[in-house]
C-alpha cells in the first residue's frame, strides 16, 4: 500500500457534533404533526443516512410517505434557522485538522447533507485546513455510494490507494468499502463500538489524536 497522504472525513458524528440541533428540529416537526417526540439517544440511532431516513424511523409506523413529504420542508425550514445553535466541532477535531494540514495531508469532508450546507459548515469551522467539502447534489449519489468520495479524490488530485476514510456509522463503513478505502471508525459519534464491530469495522479511534497515530 502506498503511503497515506489523503484523509476523507464524514461530517455529522465525526467532525461535527450536530445531534442536539438535529434533535430539537426533529422534535419541532413531531410536535407540529402531533406525533410523539424522541430523546437525543434515540435520534442518535436514526441519523447517519440522511434526514428522510431518520424521519421514517422517528414517525409512527402507520405514517404515510405523503405525510413524510409534508414534514420534510418543515424540518428544513426550522433546521436552516437553528442548525448552528448548539452545533460545534468535537473536542480535539480542529487541532487534529490543523496538524494534518500542517503535515501536508490533503483533507476533505463528504456528507449526505445538502451540498450548500456542507460547504457553509466547513467554511465556518474547518477552512482553510479542509479545502474540499462535498454534500448531496444532483449528479452525485448519496452515501453509501462512493460518488462523493470519488469526487473528493478528484478535486484533491489523489488516488484511492493513498487515502483513508474516517466516519462513525455503518453508512460510512459501507461508503469506504464501496470506494475501496480503509475505514477508520470513530467512537464519539452516533454508533457504539459493539455495533460497528458487528458490521465488520476493525480500525477504531477513541479520540481525535488517535487518527494521526493510526494513519502515520
Q: What is the pLDDT of residues 103-161, one digit of tens each?
A: 999 999 999 988 888 998 999 999 999 999 999 888 899 999 999 999 999 999 999 99
Which cell numbers in the block locate residue 54? 431518520
Q: Give residue 134's domain range.
A: 6-17+87-215
pLDDT score recorded for residue 208: 97
Same domain, 31 and 41: yes
Write down how long the chain is.
216
pLDDT of residue 69: 97
pLDDT at 122: 96
- The Cα–Cα gap between 151 and 139 comes to 11
Instruction: State in Å, rounded, how far the first CA of the chain is from the last one.
Output: 13
Residue where a domain stops, chosen among 82, 101, 116: 82
Domain assignment present for 201: yes
Task: Work out the pLDDT band at 2, boundaries 50, 70, 90.
Answer: low
C-alpha 54/C-alpha 12 separation (Å) is 13
What are the strands, taking DSSP E only, across 52-202? 88-89, 106-114, 132-136, 163-167, 183-186
- What does the pLDDT read at residue 80? 85
Single out the residue of 161, 168, 105 nearest to residue 132, CA to CA. 105
CATH code, domain with 56: 1.10.150.240
φ and ψ at 20, to 5 degrees?
-65, -50
The pTM score is 0.91
- Residue-wise pLDDT for 160-212, tens only, equals 999 999 999 999 999 999 999 999 999 999 999 999 999 999 999 999 999 99
Domain boundary among 82, 106, 128: 82
pLDDT for 1 equals 46
User: Do 188 and 120 have their domain in common?
Assistant: yes
Instruction: Specify if 98 maps to a domain.
Output: yes
**Would you say residue 1 lies in a domain?**
no
pLDDT digits (tens, 9 = 90+) for 18-69: 999 999 999 999 999 999 999 999 999 898 778 899 999 999 999 999 999 9
**Does 42 lie in the same domain as 141?**
no
Q: Assess contact for 157 and 131: CB atoms under 8 A.
A: no
Q: Which three cell numbers stand for residue 141?
A: 449519489
Query: Looking at the domain assignment, is residue 108 inside a domain?
Result: yes
Nearest alpha-carbon partner for 50 in 118, 126, 103? 118
Amino acid at each position: 500500500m502506498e503511503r497515506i497522504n489523503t484523509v476523507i472525513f464524514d461530517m455529522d458524528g465525526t467532525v461535527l457534533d450536530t445531534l442536539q440541533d438535529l434533535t430539537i428540529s426533529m422534535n419541532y416537526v413531531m410536535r407540529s404533526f402531533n406525533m410523539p417526540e424522541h430523546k437525543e439517544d434515540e435520534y442518535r440511532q436514526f441519523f447517519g443516512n440522511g434526514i428522510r431516513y431518520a424521519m421514517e424511523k422517528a414517525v409512527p409506523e402507520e405514517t404515510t410517505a405523503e405525510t413524510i413529504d409534508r414534514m420534510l420542508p418543515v424540518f428544513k425550514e426550522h433546521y436552516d434557522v437553528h442548525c448552528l445553535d448548539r452545533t460545534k466541532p468535537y473536542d480535539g477535531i480542529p487541532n487534529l485538522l490543523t496538524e494534518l494540514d500542517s503535515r501536508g495531508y490533503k483533507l476533505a469532508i463528504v456528507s449526505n447533507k445538502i451540498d450548500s450546507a456542507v460547504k457553509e459548515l466547513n467554511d465556518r469551522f474547518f477552512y482553510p485546513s479542509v479545502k474540499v467539502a462535498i454534500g448531496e447534489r444532483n449528479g452525485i449519489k448519496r452515501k453509501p455510494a462512493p460518488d462523493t468520495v470519488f469526487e473528493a479524490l478528484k478535486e484533491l488530485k489523489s488516488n484511492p490507494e493513498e487515502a483513508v476514510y474516517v466516519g462513525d456509522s455503518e453508512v460510512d463503513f459501507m461508503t469506504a468499502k464501496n470506494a475501496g478505502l480503509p475505514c477508520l471508525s470513530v467512537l464519539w459519534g452516533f454508533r457504539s463500538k459493539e455495533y460497528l464491530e458487528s458490521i465488520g469495522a476493525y480500525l477504531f479511534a477513541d479520540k481525535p489524536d488517535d487518527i494521526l497515530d493510526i494513519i502515520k
